[in-house]
């Protein structure tokens, strides 16, 4: 399967801390390792090393702590104004997490209905102007699907899967990818808090993304 992203395309990543990973503000691209320490850097490095002739321009506007509500507030500045050809969205972890680590601060909670409607609205506005879309499922790095947070995260991931189909997008199922690795290692081997991956965890996300866009590993 050939790489789906055409030469000279602008590929923009937006999301929360999993995408941010210490990237340069306000818009991360260019020299001196601006893209952060995570999967976005790994994706750019592999694309640049193996298919430099495509000259794909990678931009990172992930912001730590963001929910889909925060994305909505900065969408015009960080997506529409930057005019990407391809857009990757990885959002939902904090929408779920705040319901568990801040249970009494209900104003910070983004329920499933708001999450669905907000992400749907953003995609409806943006998809007609894109050449390609990749939606990455939010993850909880724990194989126990009975865990309340894992169960809730799976519900948000199901929304992402439905919206990927609705908007003719590609689905990068990072939760499924983590589940495969978790058959062999404990969650702590991938993320100390089961949310923020170490380098192995970020490579799992990068590999999932690259597989989704048709990257050839040989």
- Tell me: the pLDDT tens digits for 199-218? 999 999 999 999 999 999 98
Contacts of 23 (CB under 8 A, 6+ apart): 34, 35, 36, 40, 60, 62
pLDDT digits (tens, 9 = 90+) for 149-184: 999 999 999 999 999 999 999 999 999 999 999 999
Residue in 33, 144, 168, 193 annotated catalytic: 193
User: According to the model, what pLDDT value does residue 199 have?
Assistant: 98
Q: 201 — phi, psi (to 5°)?
A: -60, -40
Average of per-residue pLDDT values in the chain: 97
Residue in 109, 147, 179, 196 annotated catalytic: 196
For this structure, is 196 an active site residue? yes
Position 93 pLDDT exceeds 70: yes
For this structure, is 174 an active site residue? no
Pair 171, 135: CB distance under 8 Å: yes
pLDDT digits (tens, 9 = 90+) for 126-147: 999 999 999 999 999 999 999 9
Position 1 pLDDT exceeds 80: no
User: According to the model, what pLDDT value does residue 2 have?
Assistant: 85
**Rounded to an integer, what distance in angstroms lies between the CA atom of residue 52 and that of residue 32?**
18
Domain annotation for the chain: domains and CATH numbers:
10-212 (3.40.50.1110)
Residue in 17, 78, 139, 174 annotated catalytic: 17
**Rounded to an integer, what distance in angstroms lies between the CA atom of residue 46 and that of residue 44?**
6
**Rounded to an integer, what distance in angstroms lies between the CA atom of residue 53 and that of residue 22?**
28
User: According to the model, what pLDDT value does residue 218 have?
Assistant: 81
């Amino acid at each position: 399967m050939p790489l789906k992203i055409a030469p000279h395309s602008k590929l923009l990543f937006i999301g929360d801390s999993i995408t941010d990973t210490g990237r340069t503000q306000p818009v991360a691209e260019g020299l001196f390792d601006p893209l952060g320490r995570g999967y976005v850097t790994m994706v750019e490095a592999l694309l640049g090393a193996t298919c430099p002739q495509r000259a794909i321009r990678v931009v990172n506007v992930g912001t730590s702590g963001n929910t889909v509500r925060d994305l909505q507030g900065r969408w015009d500045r960080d997506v529409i104004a930057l005019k990407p050809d391809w857009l990757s969205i990885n959002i939902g972890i904090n929408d779920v997490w705040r319901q568990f680590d801040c249970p009494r601060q209900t104003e910070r909670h983004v329920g499933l209905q708001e999450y669905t409607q907000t992400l749907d609205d953003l995609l409806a506005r943006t998809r007609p102007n894109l050449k390609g879309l990749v939606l990455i499922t939010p993850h909880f790095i724990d194989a126990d699907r009975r865990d309340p947070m894992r169960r809730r995260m799976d519900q948000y991931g199901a929304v992402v899967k439905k919206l990927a189909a609705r908007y003719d997008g590609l689905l990068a199922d990072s939760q499924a990818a983590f589940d495969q690795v978790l058959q062999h290692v404990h969650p702590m081997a991938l993320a100390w808090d089961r949310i923020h991956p170490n380098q192995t965890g970020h490579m799992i996300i990068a590999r999932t993304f690259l597989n989704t866009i048709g990257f050839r590993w040989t």
